[in-house]
Structure 1
Amino acid sequence: MGQTISSMEGFTRKIGKILPAADEVLAYRGHSDRQKFKLLPSVLRDPTLAANEHAILRELVASHPIEFAQDSTTLEQLARAQHYSLPTRLLDVTWNPLVALYFACKKHDDTPGEVIVFRVKRALLKFYDSDTVSCIANLAHLKKNEQDAIDFSLSGPPFNMQSSVARLLQFIKVEKPHFLAEIVPDNLKTVLCVKPKRNSQRILVQCGAFLLFGIFGDLDSNSAHGISIERIQVNGKKKKNILFELDRVAINDSSMFPEIDQAATYIRSKYEIPVS
C-alpha cells in the first residue's frame, strides 16, 4: 500500500514522484472509504441495475427530455445522467490529483481514504467523438441478455452479423449514420479513458474525465490491458485537516460543486458556530 499521507504537503510530495511514461497519461480518483468503494461503475455494481441498464437511461431521458435536448450522442447522455446520480457505465476520474484528494477526504469520519492513480496507455485515451467510444457507450442500450449473447470467439463479418451486434450497430448509426459494420470484438471488452466535452460547470471545475467500461469486470479484481493502478492511502483521522488545507487553495464544496445550492450550503457552514 505504501506510506499513508496525513497532509496536503505530504500528498503533493508523494504524487510528484509518480511520473507517467512517454506512452502514458495519469488520471486520478478519490475514495473516502478505501474498503467500501470499488473500481467499478455504478450500474455494474448491482445485478439488478445491470439487468435494467437499457431501461433506466431511457426512463430519465423520457422523463426530462429538455435537459437532454442538446445531447447528440449516448456518451453525452450518460455523462449528464451521471451528473444527476443515475447509475451508468462511466467511472468519474480527474486530471487534477488535488481534486482526487478532496474526494478522498470529503467524508471526514476517520475512515481511511485513498487516492487511486491510473496509468493509462495513450492508445486508450479517446475524445468524446471517437468511434470506439460510440461502440462501448451504446452497449447501454442493449438488454443484459443481448450483451451476454455476443460471441467474442467470432471476428470480422460473422461477428458483426450477430443479432446483438447488429442491434448495437443500429444505435451507433443513430449518432454516426456512416459508421461501417466493422466493430472489432476486443473493443467492446476494453476500458477507455474518455475526454468529454466540457459542457458542464462540474466537469470543468473538477477537471473531469471518465473511464468508460465495456463488457469487462471491475479494475479491482481484473487487470485491464493498458491500465495499471497505484494507491495512496489517506489517514482517516487527518481528513478534516487536509480539507482545511485544500480550502486554502480554493478546493472545497463550493468550487467542486458550483451549483448555487451547494455554494449556499458551503457559505453557511463557514459562518455557523459549532455546537459544543
Structure 2
Amino acid sequence: MIPRTDREQAVAELPEVADPAGVAPQDARELSKLFFEQLAHLEEGTPEYQYARNTLIEMNMSLVRFAAGRFRSRGAEEREDIVQVGTIGLIKAIDRFELSREVEFTSFAIPYIVGEIKRFFRDTSWSVHVPRRLQEARVQLARATEELCTRLGRTPTVKELAQLMSLTEEEVIEARIAANGYNSASLDAAIGGEPDGETVLADFIGSEDTALGLIEDFHALAPMIAELDERERKIIHWRFVEEMTQARIAEMLGCSQMHVSRLLSRTLKRLREGMLTTD
C-alpha cells in the first residue's frame, strides 16, 4: 500500500460541515482546531484549502458579532459596516494563526477584529458623532422647551421638561449636551466679552495627545507578544518595562551581553515586521 502524503491525509481528514454559520460557538472552537491542523498541510489556492479557510471564517463569525456588540450605540446601518470590517480582522487572524503557539484562537482573533473596527472608526467617523437616539431627543427637547416657554412664560426647568417628554432628568441633560453638537462655530470666531477682543475659540482647545495613537499599536502587538516564547517575553519585559540594561538581563539569564543583544534584535525585528504586516 502506497503511503499518503501530508496533503492527501489532510484532505481525507477534513470533516464536512453542512452549515458552518450554524455551528455553536463551543463546537466551533473544537472544530476550528481540527481545521487549522489540516490547513497547515494544504496547499494555498487549492479547492481543499479554500474550503477549510472559508469554513473557519463562517464558523467563527460569532467572534465578529461579539466584538461588534461592544459598539451598540451605532445605528443599524453602521452596525452592518462594523460586521463587515470586523470580518476582515477575522480573516487576517485566520491567515496568521498557528496552533504551535499554543494560544486559543479566540484570544488571538479578538484583538485583530476589534483593531480593524477601531481603524474603520478612525478613518470614517465624523469629528463629532451623535447617536441617532440623541439626535431625535434634540428635536423633542426643542419642541418641549418651546411649548413650556409659551405656557409658563419662562424657561422651563429640567424637571418640567422631563415630565413633559416622559424622560428622566439625566436623559434630558444628556439631550441638552448632545444638542451642542448640532451646530458648529469657527475656531477663529472671537469670544464675546473679552477685554482684548482678540481671544478666539481655538485658544480654549487642548492639543492632541499623541500617546493616544499608541493604543491601536498595543492592540496589534498583544497577539504577537503572546506568540513569543517565555524567554523572549522576559527580555522584552525586563528591557522596556523594568528598563534593565542588557548587561543586567545577561546576568539574569546567565549568558553574555552579546547574546542578549542578538536575541533582543531578533525579537524586535519580528515584532516590527508583524506590525507592518498588520497595518
Higher relative contact order (CA 8 A, sep 6+): 1
Give 1 or 2: higher strand fraction.
1
User: What TM-score results when the alignment is normalised by the length of structure 1?
Assistant: 0.24
Q: In terms of Rg, which structure is larger? A: 2
